[in-house]
């Protein structure tokens, strides 16, 4: 059996830091033995090195931290092309940037190019798994799964269901959109490390009938994931109240449709009340908190304290392109800042836990990823605390692993990611040319679509739309 070995400081979690102080597990000079995509042994370098065969080479990352690969629980691969696009509020952002970008995904060649670029970005940032929204087009998800399968990545994805309140180019046939989801799930769910997510874009983009059909599918196929957006901005909440006057709350719209259960992942979850939080926790759904997106779009601030007190399952998402970065380090940093602004102190351990083992647990991947335990899939990120002069200066004085993690989170970006291993294979892209990234972007076509959408722009009842 071909094996490889990684040497460095091993850092992972054996539990949730909010429940216990002693869950951070560290081996200062550690070794991971990897075979057939899995960690076959872990331990002290001094003890394990003798188990290496004469032709087994050790990749030496002494001075670096080896962590489980990051898990991004909410992102949109078709929106990378509109990241960092300023807009005058949510509706403007959606119509001016997002819809035109997503309309281009009718072309399979655009889907394939974007899928490759997106997965390269994940690896560049140390993210080894993600829950990803495609566009309304089945081919967007087809392209993403095909590319992820070739790379051996563990990925959840789904095509958006959206049969109202969107441009005709992006509108589903109500029933056909759900049938397409079934076909995609049949073809991809459980293939390799891939999983399908039933993906109503958000309540306001779906008719009651489409939500109901999606809920029936979710009940019939409990192994599938559900992903959507929930209570992102106040205007959106108000609009959903008008569209679904019988629902007690925004959350109740999904609950009534049968879309609130374990393996359901809801982005944002900002504007919830106490009854919502209790119900959310009881249903064992997961909140994908996306703080850079919430800050960028001015949507609001997730209440970590109340969510934790209610027992809600929490994970983190980048929400690219409303989010400002595909980096989970940037996402953790923003989560820290948002919590701090609300008077809650989140430790580095808590944030890294949510980005690794906590997300794995939330997605039902316990012991498969999010850990460096023997037997786990070898998804590993190597972080270099001396990647930049400022980091090197700061971390030289770090007195603990926790303070190293904190400094990496605050000062780090993709430069600190020395390598990313997906199922034991190095996957950080090398020598990417900035010019190649722009090959698929037809700016004239995008401008034309943007002009058409803006021409049709109508403000939703209640003055709001959404971003999703
Ligand atoms: Zn989103």
Nearest to 127 by CA among 408, 282, 327, 336: 327
Going from the Cα of 2 to the center of ligand 1, the distance in angstroms, rounded, reads 40
Distance (Å, rounded) from C-alpha 458 to C-alpha 382?
Answer: 48
Distance (Å, rounded) from C-alpha 321 to C-alpha 127?
Answer: 16
Going from the Cα of 300 to the center of ligand 1, the distance in angstroms, rounded, reads 14
Q: Are 37 and 70 in contact (CB under 8 A)?
A: no
Helices (H), 64-128: 90-93, 99-103, 108-124
Residue 18: pLDDT above 70?
Answer: yes
Going from the Cα of 1 to the center of ligand 1, the distance in angstroms, rounded, reads 42
pLDDT level of residue 463 (50, 70, 90 thresholds): very low
Going from the Cα of 227 to the center of ligand 1, the distance in angstroms, rounded, reads 10
Going from the Cα of 54 to the center of ligand 1, the distance in angstroms, rounded, reads 49
Residue 456: pLDDT above 60?
Answer: no
Going from the Cα of 164 to the center of ligand 1, the distance in angstroms, rounded, reads 17
pLDDT digits (tens, 9 = 90+) for 387-433: 999 999 999 988 899 999 999 999 999 999 999 999 999 999 986 76
Going from the Cα of 386 to the center of ligand 1, the distance in angstroms, rounded, reads 33
> What is the pLDDT of the chain when averaged over all its residues?
92
Q: Are 61 and 387 in contact (CB under 8 A)?
A: no
Distance (Å, rounded) from C-alpha 135 to C-alpha 138?
Answer: 8
Going from the Cα of 141 to the center of ligand 1, the distance in angstroms, rounded, reads 16
Going from the Cα of 467 to the center of ligand 1, the distance in angstroms, rounded, reads 8
Q: What pLDDT is stored for residue 21 in this prediction? A: 83
Q: What pLDDT is stored for residue 52 in this prediction? A: 87
Q: What pLDDT is stored for residue 464 in this prediction? A: 38
Going from the Cα of 132 to the center of ligand 1, the distance in angstroms, rounded, reads 9
* Mean pLDDT on 330-354: 97
pLDDT digits (tens, 9 = 90+) for 369-390: 999 999 999 999 999 999 999 9
Nearest to 244 by CA among 165, 160, 158: 165
Going from the Cα of 97 to the center of ligand 1, the distance in angstroms, rounded, reads 14
Going from the Cα of 104 to the center of ligand 1, the distance in angstroms, rounded, reads 18
pLDDT digits (tens, 9 = 90+) for 73-95: 999 999 999 999 987 777 678 88
Residue 33: pLDDT above 70?
Answer: yes
Going from the Cα of 26 to the center of ligand 1, the distance in angstroms, rounded, reads 34
Residue 22: pLDDT above 80?
Answer: yes
User: Which residues lie closer than 8 Å to 291 by C-beta, 6 or more apart?
Assistant: 301, 302, 316, 331, 334, 335, 337, 338
Distance (Å, rounded) from C-alpha 331 to C-alpha 60?
Answer: 28
For 18, the token pair is 């909010």
Q: Are 128 and 120 in contact (CB under 8 A)?
A: no
* Mean pLDDT on 7-17: 97
What percentage of the chain carries pLDDT values higher than 90? 84
User: Which residues fall inside 5 Å of ion ligand 1, going by CB?
Assistant: 267, 319
Going from the Cα of 201 to the center of ligand 1, the distance in angstroms, rounded, reads 8
Going from the Cα of 319 to the center of ligand 1, the distance in angstroms, rounded, reads 5
Going from the Cα of 433 to the center of ligand 1, the distance in angstroms, rounded, reads 28
Distance (Å, rounded) from C-alpha 280 to C-alpha 362?
Answer: 13
Going from the Cα of 388 to the center of ligand 1, the distance in angstroms, rounded, reads 31
Q: What pLDDT is stored for residue 86 in this prediction? A: 87
Distance (Å, rounded) from C-alpha 281 to C-alpha 251?
Answer: 12
Going from the Cα of 321 to the center of ligand 1, the distance in angstroms, rounded, reads 8
- Kindly report which listed range (17-26, 69-78, 262-271) carries the lowest average pLDDT score: 17-26
pLDDT level of residue 442 (50, 70, 90 thresholds): low
pTM attached to this predicted model: 0.93
Going from the Cα of 72 to the center of ligand 1, the distance in angstroms, rounded, reads 12
Going from the Cα of 236 to the center of ligand 1, the distance in angstroms, rounded, reads 13
Going from the Cα of 216 to the center of ligand 1, the distance in angstroms, rounded, reads 23
Going from the Cα of 291 to the center of ligand 1, the distance in angstroms, rounded, reads 11
- In angstroms, the Cα distances linking 74 to 175, 224, 260, 267, 317 are 25, 16, 16, 6, 4
Going from the Cα of 229 to the center of ligand 1, the distance in angstroms, rounded, reads 6
Residue 172: pLDDT above 90?
Answer: yes
Going from the Cα of 245 to the center of ligand 1, the distance in angstroms, rounded, reads 24
Going from the Cα of 168 to the center of ligand 1, the distance in angstroms, rounded, reads 20
Angle between helices 208-220 and 250-257 (to 10 degrees): 50
Going from the Cα of 296 to the center of ligand 1, the distance in angstroms, rounded, reads 13
User: Which residues lie closer than 8 Å to 184 by C-beta, 6 or more apart?
Assistant: 138, 141, 142, 145, 158, 159, 196
Q: Which residue has the higher pLDDT, 461 or 209?
A: 209
pLDDT digits (tens, 9 = 90+) for 270-282: 999 999 999 999 9
pLDDT level of residue 434 (50, 70, 90 thresholds): low
Going from the Cα of 323 to the center of ligand 1, the distance in angstroms, rounded, reads 8
Distance (Å, rounded) from C-alpha 170 to C-alpha 164?
Answer: 9
What is the distance in angstroms between the CA of the first residue and the CA of the last residue of the chain? Answer: 46
* Mean pLDDT on 94-111: 93
- For residue 321, is the peptide bond before it cis, meaning its omega torsion is within 30 degrees of 0? yes
Residue 439: pLDDT above 60?
Answer: no
Going from the Cα of 342 to the center of ligand 1, the distance in angstroms, rounded, reads 23
- In angstroms, the Cα distances linking 180 to 83, 138, 159, 190 are 28, 7, 8, 17
Q: What pLDDT is stored for residue 438 in this prediction? A: 47
pLDDT level of residue 445 (50, 70, 90 thresholds): low
């Amino acid at each position: 059996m071909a094996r490889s070995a990684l040497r460095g400081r091993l850092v992972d979690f054996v539990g949730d830091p909010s429940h216990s102080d002693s869950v951070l597990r560290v081996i200062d000079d550690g070794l991971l033995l990897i075979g057939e995509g899995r960690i076959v042994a872990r331990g002290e370098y001094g003890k394990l090195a003798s188990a290496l065969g004469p032709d087994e080479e050790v990749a030496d990352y002494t001075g670096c931290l080896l962590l489980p690969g990051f898990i991004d629980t909410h992102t949109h691969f078709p929106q990378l092309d509109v990241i960092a696009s300023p807009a005058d509020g949510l509706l403007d952002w959606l119509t001016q940037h997002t819809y035109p970008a997503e309309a281009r995904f009718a072309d399979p060649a655009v889907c394939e190019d974007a899928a490759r670029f997106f997965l390269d970005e994940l690896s560049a940032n140390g993210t080894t798994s993600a829950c990803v929204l495609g566009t309304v087009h089945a081919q967007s998800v087809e392209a993403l799964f095909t590319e992820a399968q070739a790379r051996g990545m563990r990925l959840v994805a789904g095509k958006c269901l959206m049969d109202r309140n969107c441009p005709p180019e992006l509108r589903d046939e109500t029933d056909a959109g759900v049938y397409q989801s079934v076909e995609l799930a049949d073809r991809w769910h459980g293939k390799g490390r891939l999983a399908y997510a039933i993906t109503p874009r958000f309540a306001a983009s779906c008719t009651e009938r489409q939500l109901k059909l999606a809920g029936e599918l979710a009940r019939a196929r409990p192994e599938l994931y559900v992903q959507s957006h929930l209570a992102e901005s106040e205007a959106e909440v108000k609009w959903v109240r008008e569209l679904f006057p019988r629902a007690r709350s925004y959350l109740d719209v999904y609950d009534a449709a049968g879309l609130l259960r374990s393996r359901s992942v809801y982005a944002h979850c900002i504007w919830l009340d106490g009854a919502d939080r209790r119900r959310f926790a009881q249903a064992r759904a997961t909140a994908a908190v996306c703080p850079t997106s919430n800050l960028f779009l001015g949507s609001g601030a997730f209440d970590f304290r109340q969510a934790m007190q209610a027992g809600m399952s929490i994970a983190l998402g980048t929400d690219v392109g409303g989010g400002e970065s595909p980096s989970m380090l940037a996402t953790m940093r923003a989560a820290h800042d948002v919590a701090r602004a609300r008077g809650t102190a989140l430790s580095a351990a808590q944030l890294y836990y949510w980005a690794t083992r906590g997300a794995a647990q939330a997605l039902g991947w316990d012991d498969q990823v999010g850990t460096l335990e023997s037997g786990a899939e070898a998804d590993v990120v190597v972080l270099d605390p001396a990647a930049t002069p400022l980091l090197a200066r700061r971390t030289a004085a770090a007195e603990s692993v926790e303070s190293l993690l904190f400094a990496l989170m605050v000062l780090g970006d993709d430069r600190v990611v020395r390598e990313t291993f997906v199922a034991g294979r190095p996957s950080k892209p090398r020598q990417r040319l900035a010019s190649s990234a722009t090959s698929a972007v037809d700016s004239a076509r995008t401008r034309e679509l943007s002009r058409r959408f803006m021409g049709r722009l109508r403000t939703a009842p209640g003055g709001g739309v959404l971003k999703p």
